Amino acid sequence: MASLCGVRFTGPLAPFSEGFAAELARLGFTPLSVRGQLGCIAHLSRWLAEEGLGVNALSAATVQAFLSTRRALGYTAYLTPKALRPLLDYLQGLGAIPWEDPAQPLGLGEELLARFRDYLLVERGLGDRVVRGYVDAVRPFIAGCVDADGVTVKALDSGDVTAFLVAESRRLTPKTLQRVASALRGLLRYWHLEGLTARALDQAVPKVANRRAALPRPLEPAQVEALLSSCDQATVAGLRDYAMLTVLARMGLRAGEVAGLRLEDIAWREGELVVRGKGARRDRLPLPADVGDAIAGYLCRGRPATALGRSVFIRIKAPHRGLTAAGVTQAVAAAARRAGLGTVYAHRLRHSAATRMLARGALLVEIGQVLRHQRVATTAIYLKVDTDALRALARPWPGSVS
């Protein structure tokens, strides 16, 4: 019987306990989290021994059976397949179990999503972020297409397609609904090519109108300063968030572009930053001194030594992987709440950067180059918020004093 961190191990997982504890520490888990993980794994090891199973028996069905037993015994923590993910990754890395995902068995719906994902990545050549958006958008539709037994796709017609989009319109904004409609057309074209539908139903997806005035809503300079000041740079989280907010506010990057920054994208000697934008674009932009200082401060004093991968901005909680676009947006929203600004998301800082450049006399083409717009018309929307410039263009009302 082995004992580690006060947790006793018996059963087939005991020989792996010490190495697994070291791996958790390497990934940045706190001592308390390590102890919690080890307690769950010790329970799994005992359960495997009682069932007469070895390590190689860890499969989707085995994991689900163990978690059902754990819930029935009244445990209140580590009750989902996600709780076992660190152990399964570790065992797979050692070759003790095959490279599959025993924690997440694939039903037909997930299998269809995986096949659609592969089609978008391989056949269409789309980027990872775009593919994730498409897959997430059609996930509810696919769930409704699988029959009650979960073994085949129900017979579909144009009415099913329209009904789904109408239902989604009750909870989504027009802009989001447009993205769902685009993803749905792609899925239905693919299904027709695969023979899952008797005829092409992509034409049944209605066009989504979005006639709302989409004026940018920039923040005032004082509000941007309040956002930055809300970050406590005496903490790791504050250093990271201050650096991200500075990049967003000064350079006008999108949340996904900030999340996608890698260490090799920063050319310190040249004073440039490589931005991985939409459609696999790579753009080199000048790195402002204050932005460089903020990033350097985080890299030197905040970025965890246990970070996995080459992402610049890392999650605070272990495992210390790269931050996602959603994580960047959540950091902006949290800073806005601290600053008393209400609801503010990352894209408003992009608008703020653009309107600041316009107010300082930058040409529209120059702003478009910084924001990496493909069309001048996209940048031209910022002219609508420059009321002082527009006022000079207004013609006097007939009969009034000009």
Give the domain-ending residue among 36, 71, 94. Answer: 94
190 is catalytic: no
351 is catalytic: no
Query: Which of 124, 278, 284, 337 is flagged as catalytic?
Result: 278
Shared domain check, 120 and 87: no
What confidence score (pLDDT) does residue 212 get? 53
Q: Is the pLDDT of residue 353 over 90?
A: no
Higher pLDDT: 297 or 5? It is 297
195-218 tens-digit pLDDT: 888 888 888 898 887 655 555 678
317 is catalytic: no
Per the structure block, which two tokens stand in for 18?
């010490």
- As a whole number, mean pLDDT of residues 6-16 equals 88
Distance set, CA 141 to CA 2, 129, 149, 188, 191 (Å) = 49, 20, 17, 11, 13
Shared domain check, 286 and 179: no
* Cβ-proximal residues to 394 (8 Å cutoff; 6+ apart), any chain: none
Query: Which of 179, 189, 347, 372 is flagged as catalytic?
Result: 347
CATH of the domain at 231: 1.10.443.10
pLDDT > 70 in the chain, percent: 87
Q: Provide the domain limits for residue 271.
A: 221-348
What confidence score (pLDDT) does residue 232 get? 95
Give the domain-ending residue among 157, 176, 204. Answer: 204
CATH of the domain at 149: 1.10.150.130
Q: Looking up tokens 């904004």, which residue turns up?
A: 173
Q: In this structure, is residue 90 part of a structural domain?
A: yes
Q: In this structure, is residue 370 part of a structural domain?
A: no
Shared domain check, 119 and 23: no
98-108 tens-digit pLDDT: 756 554 555 77
Shared domain check, 256 and 176: no
Q: Is the pLDDT of residue 131 over 90?
A: no
242 is catalytic: no
Shared domain check, 90 and 112: no
What global pTM score does this model have? 0.66
Give the domain-ending residue among 305, 329, 348. Answer: 348
Shared domain check, 260 and 179: no
Query: Which of 254, 303, 348, 351 is flagged as catalytic?
Result: 254
Contacts 24+ apart (CB under 8 A), 354-358: 354/216, 354/218, 354/252, 354/379, 354/382, 355/216, 355/218, 355/382, 355/385, 355/386, 356/218, 356/221, 358/382, 358/383, 358/386
Shared domain check, 112 and 90: no
Shared domain check, 318 and 290: yes
Max avg pLDDT among 148-152, 209-213, 311-315? 311-315
Q: Is the pLDDT of residue 51 over 60?
A: yes
254 is catalytic: yes
Query: Which of 70, 315, 350, 351 is flagged as catalytic?
Result: 350
Question: How many domains does one find in the chain?
Answer: 3
Shared domain check, 267 and 324: yes
